[in-house]
Structure 1
Amino acid sequence: METIAERLKSAHESLNMALKKANRAPNSIQLLAVSKTKPVSDIVLAYEAGHRLFGENYVQEGVEKVQELQELNDIQWHFIGPIQSNKSKLVAENFDWVHTVDRAKIAKRLSNQHTPHKKLNVLIQVNINTEESKAGVLVDEIETLAALIDTLPNLTLRGLMTIPKASQSAQELVNTYQHMHQLFVNLQHSFETVDTLSMGMSADIEPAVLNGSTMVRVGTAIFGPRNTTT
């Protein structure tokens, strides 16, 4: 059975192969290790293997991990799950990045509740396939929310994030990712801080990399299937 260090190495190798295929530089994309439902001990093993970027989906679980590992102060913590208003303070106080800002109310709360000595990096979540059951802004709402975030004193707008529709053909997924990349480029023209497109997971690293992702969110390929008892 492969260790976390071995799986992490394999994930980087897959990412580097995709970058070569896309004729992109090795340092043009970041690997976010998604550790939801996994114990702190697994995060420590990935940390000991040299990894520093970790993503959490659930507020309480994520906060507990952040606090338990606070002595590892070079970890960069990303919140990548839905944010309820009553949990925004915990997110603002404990995470370095938030990938799932999709409404003005949450953006304002995060800014008001974040410690002012260091800005919170935020991505706008885009509901790129206009799914009724999925969070995220619609395409025509991106610029309005981006403009608001840009005015908030404790936030830095870094870019866009998406979770594509699951039941797409390979070509439909490519089309989705190409569309997201164009939206990202458009946003870069308007806001100088925009440099991150969070797009792609364990099963679709290659099409994400080929179509301009700058950060892939990988959980299963590193930590194994998620635990269902938590």
Structure 2
Amino acid sequence: MEGLNVADANLAVYIHPSKAGKVSQAILRQLSTLLFKYIEVFDGVVLAYDVTFRDKNAKVLPGINSYFGVKLKAKMLLFSPKPDMLLEGKVVKLGKEALHVIVLGFSSACIAEEDIREEFHYRIKHGEEVFASTSHRRHVIKVGSMITFSVKSFDEEILHISGSLIPENTGSTKWLHKHVEEGSIVERSIKKQKQKDDRSKMQEHCTGILDNAGLSLNAEDQPKKTKSQRII
């Protein structure tokens, strides 16, 4: 899935003197406040981090409360969806006017009716609301389906995504994966058949040249060796 990346960050965490006996715990507690929030300096939502200490020596900061700063180096896993990126999510609600999706378990996405391509028709099948493809009978989207969709926009404050199913490479993720695999098999089959046809044409071409030269590839036309020519 697109929109995920890892960034290296140099950080400084400021600890209250009362936490001096449990510095590591205090640092992790502060860093945990960054999780699942959009951080402008990282240009993304922080999903996870891995921390190493850059310097074992803390620097005391002057002020009313003598906080001390600890320098860290961290790898941050970020979620930063941009327009036209392809994301995957689980359908949690489906209606005639929209699809509602959850991405990575925390970010909500909505795909409005006008952003669903005409191939998909809303219908009730066996008492269940679905969007079914008119081009491919087994391509169905329903509650619980994992879908691949395109990003239109991302609201950084509420972590809400506006999505689209207009592109041809969007829809049921399971169906798309299977369709790609079947397409690859068909392409390989066509390639093998083409190679076979090319070999046949080459053989026919060579035979034609030999025939025009008065030669033959038949074993019966080849001169037989005499006893003196045979190798014992």
Q: Which has the higher helix share?
A: 1
TM-score scaled to structure 2, two decimals?
A: 0.21
Q: Using CA pairs under 8 Å that are at least 6 residues apart, name the structure with larger relative contact order, 1 or 2.
A: 1
**Which structure is larger by alpha-carbon Rg, 1 or 2?**
2
